[in-house]
Structure 1
Amino acid sequence: MSRLYELVELLRGHTSLDIVCHDSPDPDNIASAAAIEWIAENRGFGRPDPLRRDDLPQQNRAMVEQFGLKLVAVTSTTVTGTALIAFVDHALPGDHTQLPPGTDVDIVIDHHQYNKPVHARFVYLRPSFGATSTILTEYLTEISNPPPVYLASMLLFALHRERLDHVRNPTHFAYDAATLLQRHASQSMIYEFYSAQFSPARINAIEDAIKNRRVRGRSLVSWVGHVAVRDALPQAANILINLKGTDNTFVYGISDGEIHLSARSQNPALQLNRVLREVVGSQSRAGGHEDMAGG
């Protein structure tokens, strides 16, 4: 029995589904949520609402707005009732989501590795896949109808942003998925996603990050001061990690009265997500991947 068949069987007995993204949904998270939504719609569901916080970066907001995805803020009250709850690109209530620990989750599809047990009626964790979009693409290959252009474009863009563009340890699964999606994707749509990255405010913040960089050994730290667009910080970190001789980048600044930081590393063994949690301590929240994190 395939995992897609098991998922469809679980959906079959219900009429409502809440797809919950993590606190700061990135392209991989959004595209994967859209894929689950499409699978559910093709199995007789009405259109479910992926849930998120209200602070999407412009590039990710462009994906949502272009395809009419309806996203609402997630709280412990927005997912009560008879709906199935699906976590995509994360797995643990209270960790990267506003839903409290102990929340009953029905479906988990994710590519992250966890040291804690993950509980749900349907759990599909594949760290070796490198991206949740890769997992959902595998599911789509089992459906007779090809994915719609918008969904193939979202998933392909997500794979590039998550693994392929920065050569973040891409696996053959990611390359195979990208090859399959390319047949159905729209290059013009993908171009629009990329073009949404750079506004004048973002370019100014990236310029500040480049000018203010300080290097110690193979690590680079940069302070950008007050930044109008918070997602310029990860963009700057992505650019600075390419500086010759640099293995780690940390970029931080102030947005809406809070200090935000973004980090990148060429060495996953450093476990940036754990490093940033230690940096912020109990004062705030931080997390992400071993080689890409924020807080």
Structure 2
Amino acid sequence: MGPVQEDQAEESESESAAPRPVTSRLEDLAAVVTDAESLCIVCHDNPDPDSIASALALELLADAWGVPEIEIAYGGSISHQQNRAFVNLLDLDLVHLDNTDLDAFDCIAFVDHSIPGVNNSVPASITVDVVIDHHDFPEPPEAEFVDVRDRCGATASILVGYLTQSDVPISEPVASALLFAIHRERLDYVRYPTADEYQAALTVFRQADVPLVEEMYGSAFTPAMLDAIGEAIRSRTVRGSSMVASVGQTSESGAIPQAADYLLNLEGITTVLVFGLVEETIRLSARSMDSRVDIADTLEIAFEDVGQVGGHGDMAGGQIPLGLFADHGEDDPDLLRFVSSRIRDRFFDVMHLEDEG
């Protein structure tokens, strides 16, 4: 079977081209997955609820289709306090890629990411059989089954569509995971939720444990998380309605997006970039409520030549290897000052914001 590509009717030059029905995609997905004796569903590195919930939904389908062995794997770490609560409260059994032999599986599936080595720790030599994602890439991913819908706000919404079209019952834990994921990915933000997210949320709400979802939202900050956010507040630089801040060096990579969410609440601020040094990598997280700003494009222009970046118009992130700053050792006391200056200047230059001082 050749690659099964996403419905491109809206982008096609032929406006009369009829979109492929979701049921056709579901049948094509089943044809690929049910042939496998073993399936590894790979989340992206430092997985968020959208990636994990999508993996759970695909696991539910694969189990119903009779796949004997199914594993959900991830790279990086789960450090954002809400993501940890998400995994702990749902008692999820996830396996780190360090403890996974991908070559031993008949079928490899990517959810919420598309290409080996891009936002994941999967070697480029690995053959991916299934890709389900909502992020746009210049070149289509190579896989036997590909469903990439960049006009959809969450990968979880795509999986809810599969479950709805199948006769597979949505269990309460999976429904709860999907509901939380859809809200965190899109419905908690003013910009860019789509009709798919509202419909998907309504679909899984009936089966979800809503008090459990509320408990995920109310998860507690760790002391290290509060320290990192406090450092971001202290280090912030504001130009116009945009802000850049650093959490410094931290073991809590989840503090970086958390700080970006928090600082976006500051009066007069509509665009935020927060970064931090995690081990040997500079992690970036950005948010924007400004309709004139596509924050994913902004990060790509500013940092694509030095690292991996991507996302959406209102939410984006990335990582830059510390090797870019080879003139400074990891323990150099001037390292963070140097990194901060370079990150801040690149971002504000792309935003066309000069130092008013």
Distance (whole Å) between structure 2 residues aligned to residue 199 and residue 163 of structure 1 = 25
Amino acid at match of 1:55: S
Q: Offset at 1:194?
A: 1.4
Task: Tell me if 1:183 matches 2:206.
Answer: yes
Counterpart residue number, 1:30: 52
Counterpart residue number, 1:8: 30
Distance (whole Å) between structure 2 residues aligned to residue 197 and residue 138 of structure 1 = 32
Distance 1:278-1:11 versus aligned 2 partners, 3 A rule:
same
Q: How well do the aligned residues superpose, as a CA RMSD in angstroms?
A: 2.5
Q: Is the 8 A contact 2:135 2:311 kept in 1?
A: no
Q: Offset at 1:256?
A: 4.0
Unaligned stretches of 5+ in structure 2?
1-22, 320-357
Relative to structure 2, which stretch is displaced further, 150-159 or 187-196? 187-196
Counterpart residue number, 1:291: 314
Where 1:251 maps in the other structure, the secondary structure is strand
Where 1:2 maps in the other structure, the secondary structure is helix
Where 1:123 maps in the other structure, the secondary structure is strand
1:86-105 maps to which residues of 2 (within 5 A)?
Answer: 86-105=109-128
Q: Offset at 1:38?
A: 0.8
Q: Offset at 1:89?
A: 0.5
Q: Is the 8 A contact 2:56 2:174 kept in 1?
A: yes
Counterpart residue number, 2:222: 199
Relative to structure 2, which stretch is displaced further, 29-38 or 96-105? 96-105
Where 1:242 maps in the other structure, the secondary structure is coil
Q: Is the 8 A contact 2:250 2:277 kept in 1?
A: yes
Relative to structure 2, which stretch is displaced further, 83-92 or 143-152? 143-152
Q: Offset at 1:42?
A: 1.1
1:38-49 maps to which residues of 2 (within 5 A)?
Answer: 38-49=60-71
Unaligned stretches of 5+ in structure 1?
none
Counterpart residue number, 1:253: 276
Q: Offset at 1:184?
A: 0.8
Relative to structure 2, which stretch is displaced further, 163-172 or 44-53? 44-53
Q: Is the 8 A contact 2:103 2:126 kept in 1?
A: no
Q: Offset at 1:213?
A: 2.4
1:80-229 maps to which residues of 2 (within 5 A)?
Answer: 80-196=103-219, 198-229=221-252
Distance 1:115-1:256 versus aligned 2 partners, 3 A rule:
closer
Counterpart residue number, 1:65: 88
TM-score, normalised on structure 1?
0.89
Distance (whole Å) between structure 2 residues aligned to residue 56 and residue 82 of structure 1 = 24
Q: Is the 8 A contact 2:235 2:246 kept in 1?
A: yes
Q: Is the 8 A contact 1:76 1:99 kept in 2?
A: no
Q: Offset at 1:171?
A: 0.6
Relative to structure 2, which stretch is displaced further, 109-118 or 156-165? 109-118
Counterpart residue number, 2:322: none
Distance (whole Å) between structure 1 residues aligned to residue 256 and residue 26 of structure 2 = 37
Relative to structure 2, which stretch is displaced further, 266-275 or 285-294? 266-275
Distance (whole Å) between structure 1 residues aligned to residue 154 and residue 264 of structure 2 = 20
Counterpart residue number, 2:19: none
Relative to structure 2, which stretch is displaced further, 147-156 or 92-101? 92-101
Amino acid at match of 1:223: S
Task: Tell me if 1:263 matches 2:324.
Answer: no
State how many pairs are aligned.
295
Of 56, 78, 86, 1:56 maps to 78
Q: Offset at 1:102?
A: 4.9
Q: Is the 8 A contact 1:273 1:293 kept in 2?
A: yes
Counterpart residue number, 1:233: 256
Q: Is the 8 A contact 1:162 1:168 kept in 2?
A: no
Distance (whole Å) between structure 1 residues aligned to residue 265 and residue 295 of structure 2 = 17
Q: Is the 8 A contact 2:116 2:126 kept in 1?
A: yes
**Cα deviation digits, residues 241-289 of structure 1 (max 9, x gap):** 2333323101223444654332112357755445445655666544433
Distance 1:115-1:270 versus aligned 2 partners, 3 A rule:
farther
Amino acid at match of 1:194: Y
Task: Tell me if 1:244 matches 2:244.
Answer: no
Q: Is the 8 A contact 1:238 1:264 kept in 2?
A: yes
Q: Offset at 1:240?
A: 1.7
Q: Is the 8 A contact 1:269 1:290 kept in 2?
A: no
Relative to structure 2, which stretch is displaced further, 244-253 or 115-124? 244-253
Distance 1:75-1:98 versus aligned 2 partners, 3 A rule:
farther
